[in-house]
Amino acid sequence: MKYEGSCHCGRVAFEVEGTIDSGLSCNCSMCGRKGSLLWFVPRDQMRLTTPEDAASTYLFNKHVIKHRFCPVCGIHPYGEGTDPKGNAVAAINLRCLEGIDLAAIPIHEYDGKSK
């Protein structure tokens, strides 16, 4: 299925294809503060519909995840990184997708705080 997502003001927008079977709630210092619910997909399943430079990037800790956010409204619609096998992945913030029922998606807790 194809989904559309964006930040609050629309400056950062994208399309993503896949099946949302679950989401992840991480309690690390970053995710815990921004409240994202993450859905991981291969990066080639996500296509930006706005220019790449519309989003800013924040790196912290080991600098392996690019936390992408809108410099205008501050919303974090997605992140970029690699999986343990070295494949490019996108971490989609489920809260930024249009027309989904978050209550119907199983959410798994991840203890990023102690990693």
Question: Which residues neighbour 102 within 8 Å (Cβ) at sequence distance 6 or greater?
Answer: 23, 37, 94, 95
CATH number at residue 8: 2.170.150.70
Evaluate whether residue 92 is within a structural domain. Answer: yes
Tens digits of pLDDT across the chain (115 residues): 999 999 999 999 999 999 999 999 999 888 889 999 999 999 999 999 999 999 999 998 878 889 999 999 999 999 999 999 999 999 999 999 999 999 999 999 999 888 7
Evaluate whether residue 103 is within a structural domain. Answer: yes
Evaluate whether residue 115 is within a structural domain. Answer: no
Evaluate whether residue 70 is within a structural domain. Answer: yes
Instruction: Write out the residue range of the structural domain in which residue 86 sits.
Output: 2-110
Evaluate whether residue 88 is within a structural domain. Answer: yes
Per residue in 36-65, pLDDT (tens digit) is 999 999 999 999 999 999 999 999 887 888
Q: How many domains does the chain have?
A: 1
pLDDT of 69: 97
